[in-house]
Structure 1
Amino acid sequence: MSNDGAWIHDVATGPAAKVVEKHREPQELIFYSGWFCPYVQRTWIALEEKGIPYQYKEVNPYKKEKHFLEINPKGLVPAIEYKGKALYESLILCEFLEDAYPSYGPNLLTTDPYAKAYIRIWLDFISKTIVPTNLRLTMAQDPAKQKEYLQEYNEALRTLMGKAKGPYFLGEEFSLVDVAIAPWILRDYVLSENRGYSREGVSPEWKAYCELLEKRPSVANTFSEKKYLQPIYNRYLSDTAQSAGAQALRAGKAIP
């Protein structure tokens, strides 16, 4: 039960539960997770893509243990402990994994300096444009605002696809850009069922890209059953969610 009255399942389910079971043993890297969180899934996808040994630990978002708050004073997941040292923020963690585990591949950032900078440009676009617009659309109550945000969201996705080489963002190579957007693709059924969004409405290329990403093992296997996400998304759809991101958008601030 959450602190605003909505029940949240306390463990990963479906394919994700099977992955969790494989990562119970202690490792030098401890992954603090919330199974439901798209930001968590970014880091989880990277861990699975690279085959890095890690210990999975689920964090109760409404009853955080003292040790976890010492690791991340923000109280947000994902976070990791690496050789006793703490780090957090999903994309920072993904980049850290490339530096800390260079022999575990593939390299999701590439080794080419230009390509690496290019990836970071589009990671910034996803974080500052696509994700906030997605959340605004989900939370919007006024039909006119829903229509406005849907147009903005579709245009942002078209912009991203306009730079994609296909089949993945960089071409044949799966990269951190794909990792960064994949969790929101898996959850786009929420917008399809409630806000008039469709993959086809963005572009045929976007639809094909989404279908490719959602089938990739590292993406599909770190996702829980949709029915357990419904109580969470009901709060966003009714604009009653009290997450840090929801509160920031209401206050006109950037998502933390």
Structure 2
Amino acid sequence: MPGPVYHPVATGIASDTVTQHAGPASIVLWGGWFCPFTQRTWAALEAKGIPYQYREVNPYLKEKDFIDISPHGLTPGLQVDGRPLHDSTVINEFLEEAGSALGAHPAVPSLWPNSGDGPYEKARARLWIDHVNKAAVPAFIRLLQAASPPSQAAALAAWTTALDHITAHCQGPFFFGNEISLVDLAIAPWAVRDFILCEKRGFRRDQVSGWTAWAEALERHPAVQRTTSNRDKYLEFNQTFMRNEDHSAVAKAARAGEQII
């Protein structure tokens, strides 16, 4: 099997499709327990209370059924009544916009910021998600990949700078206040996984003002907790990055300084 070793997620979901609950639309999330981008969308489904099925997939095998859903062969992929979508950022915005038609729980607040200037705040949220995608996530991965002390120091500085830029605008406990948002879901999987940087790369949460409180709030949110897997397995999986084994398109893009999709 190409790539790293696979394990069931902590909730017991393995390689078979697992029905969570039925709803007005037939939604299947194709994902990997190990993948932070999968967790973004998985947590969005949980946060919205949208009925879905979860299907564990090995993206390294590039099987046709999965490529038909996600042309780049990257998790997550989403099927909505048989129609495909890919890219976690795009999928999450779709889930928010189409939530009621997809069977979202009516009492769940919007994942967009709740303010009087909706279009402006949506645009601002998209800019912060773009910052996470283009600055924070690549810096996280490059820090994992950094082998020598000088490269680790440079990568750690890039990671803390990227974090500091966004935490300075976090209203607390979540980015826009009391409710979790699409911005929070964009960065939550890396809050869940930053213990690896603490253990292996000398990072401390208190190096970035406001990150400890925000990260802890993200980790405590039920949608994040329900989609988080075993820490030891996360560490085992991420050893491939720390050994600079470029199994994944994400690792290759980070090494080359390219955009991570």
TM over 0.5: yes
- Residues 149-190 of structure 1 show CA distances to partners (whole Å, capped at 9, x for unaligned) of 111211211111111111211012211111111000000011
Structure 1 CA distance, aligned partners of 2:184 and 2:13?
A: 19
Q: CA deviation at 1:110?
A: 3.9
Residues 1:152 and 1:252: Cα distance change in structure 2 (over 3 Å): closer
The structural deviation recorded for 1:73 is 1.8
Deviations 1:194-224 (A, max 9, x none): 1100101212x21111111101110011011
2:156 to 150, 155, 167: 150
The answer as to 2:112 corresponding to 1:109 is yes
Greater displacement, 174-183 / 225-234? 225-234
**Contact kept in structure 2, 1:8 and 1:231, CA below 8 Å:** no
Alignment of 1:57-206 (within 5 A): 57-102=55-100, 104=104, 105-110=108-113, 112-203=118-209, 205-206=210-211
1:207 aligns with 2:212: yes
**1:66 partner letter:** K
Match of 1:32 in 2: 30
Whole-Å Cα distance in 2 between the matches of residues 72 and 206 of structure 1?
33
Classify the secondary structure of the residue corresponding to 1:12: coil
User: Given the two structures, how large is their TM-score scaled by the length of structure 1?
Assistant: 0.91
Determine the C-alpha separation between the residues in 1 that align with 2:199 and 2:67. 36
Quick check: 244-253 or 23-32, which moved more?
Answer: 23-32
Letter aligned with residue 90 of structure 1: S
User: What displacement does 1:145 show?
Assistant: 1.3
Does the CA contact (< 8 Å) of 2:32 and 2:76 recur in 1? yes
The reply to whether residue 241 of structure 1 matches residue 246 of structure 2 is: yes
Q: Does 1:222 align with 2:227?
A: yes
Q: Give the CA deviation at 1:25.
A: 6.2
Are 1:42 and 1:180, in contact at CA under 8 Å, matched by a contact in 2?
yes
What's the CA shift for 1:21? Answer: 5.3
**What is the count of residue pairs matched by the alignment?**
250
Q: Gaps (5+ residues) in structure 2?
A: none
Match of 2:2 in 1: 3
What SS class does the counterpart of residue 8 from structure 1 fall into? Answer: coil
Q: Which string of whole-angstrom CA distances, capped at 9 and with x for unpartnered residues, describes residues 224-246 of structure 1?
A: 11122233211111111321011
Give 3-state SS (helix, strand or coil) of 1:218's partner: helix
Query: Structure 1: how far apart are the matches of 2:21 and 2:112?
Result: 28
Decide which moves more: 141-150 or 58-67.
58-67
Runs of 4+ in 1 over 3 A off after TM superposition: 14-17, 24-27
Question: Residue 20 of structure 2 is aligned with which of 19, 23, 35?
Answer: 23
**Mapped partners of 1:53, 1:8: distance in 2:** 26
